[in-house]
Amino acid sequence: MDKTLETIVEKMIETVDSSKEQIFEIGEESRLEYDQLKSELQQVQSKVVEVIDKLERMELHSRFARNRLAEVSKNFSKYSDKEVREAYEQANDYQVQLAVLSQEETQLRQRRDQIERRLMKLKDTVERSEALVNQINVVMHYLTGDLKQVSEMVADAVEMQKLGLKIIQAQEEERKRLSREIHDGPAQMMANVMLRSELVEKIYDEKGINAALQEISDLRKMVKDSLAEVRRIIYDLRPMALDDLGLIPTLRKYLTNFAEHTGLNISFKNMGKERRLPSEMEVALFRFVQEAAQNAHKHANPTELLVKVELKPSHAIVIIKDDGKGFDPSVKKEGSFGLIGMKERVNMLDGQMSIDSKPNRGTLIIVQIPITSNE
């Protein structure tokens, strides 16, 4: 049994180490793109200055040409047909050049703004990747140290072995799911963008600028949809709002999206004062509610789900109630790791969890977690 647990731990270490390398690669790629965009930004800024200078000179020429045309038109009889035509053509030519330069300036400014926004996101990605690598180093140290002696502290080795294997299986399933989502979503969209972007010039030559602009507009929408899909995938992995806004707003948003996705009637109530908790507590409580909601939807077939959160000075209370088919908590269901995982999250925070459920009577789960100071 000890040998089996050691094997599980070794696989976990390999998985964590592989994840560390992937995060490091993401950070390095983001850093490289950041440097490239920084250089491009300087070029774009120089071009903006250059175009503005050209515009100013062109506006001066255009003003003189318009004055010349006005003079010719006013004294039409004093000038030959050739002089009239030249005055008109020169004024029109300057107007066309002004329009082209103005469009170029607009495009350069838009590109400059896009680069600046992208640079901010890349900087955040690099910082987050560095922080994650540091955190993973701590986890690796823990896994290669105290966790190797876990067999000495586990009372029910068989149950923990099954849970460990289930975790590894879940990781692989999650990777496959993410791979499918990225392939079927953003990857396909970006491939279509690449194909259609190659057609813009051809459409411009064959159908004119209006058709080309329409094609560019369609491409912009496809890129926007792809970005939204990527954000959704990232949100499923870890909601960034949890770091920025805290537990209560993130739960409210998640449950609203979950209700729209599942059709469940979900009621969320925050009974206490909204405030920030230590990061590890916010993550654990969010994942607890997430897992409880998903378990209820998957296994209980409810129509209504009630989630209450109360943040007291000394402890947090979470109540989750559904009107589903319920179950007998005293009967252990083979292969049911949902409750085991939820209990593990609660135990890690020295909390308590109680379950009240009966067949055809729904389920009530109450969790109480002591709050440690984050100051």
**Beta carbons of 272 and 312 less than 8 angstroms apart:** yes
What CA–CA distance (Å, rounded) separates 36 from 20? 24
What CA–CA distance (Å, rounded) separates 235 from 178? 12
Structural domains of the chain, with CATH: 1-154 (1.10.287.950), 156-237 (no CATH), 241-370 (3.30.565.10)
5, β-bridge pairs:
none
Residue in 181, 180, 107, 140 with CA at minimum distance from that of residue 18: 140
Q: What is the dihedral of CA 32, 185, 225, 202, to 10 degrees?
A: 80
- Residue 292, φ and ψ in degrees, nearest 5: -65, -45
What CA–CA distance (Å, rounded) separates 106 from 48? 9
Which 3 state secondary structure label does DSSP give 360? coil
Over residues 211-250, the pLDDT tens digits come to 767 777 777 777 777 776 666 566 555 566 677 788 888 8
Over residues 137-180, the pLDDT tens digits come to 766 666 665 544 554 554 454 555 555 555 555 555 655 655 56
Helix (H) or strand (E) holding 1: none
> 């993410």: which residue's tokens?
178
267, β-bridge pairs:
306
Over residues 287-345, the pLDDT tens digits come to 888 888 888 888 888 999 999 999 888 888 999 999 998 888 777 665 455 677 777 77
Q: CA–CA distance from 169 to each of 6, 10, 166 (Å)?
A: 17, 15, 5
Over residues 48-99, the pLDDT tens digits come to 888 888 888 888 888 888 888 788 777 777 777 788 788 788 888 888 888 8
Instruction: Indicate yes or no: pTM above 0.95.
Output: no
367, β-bridge pairs:
318, 353
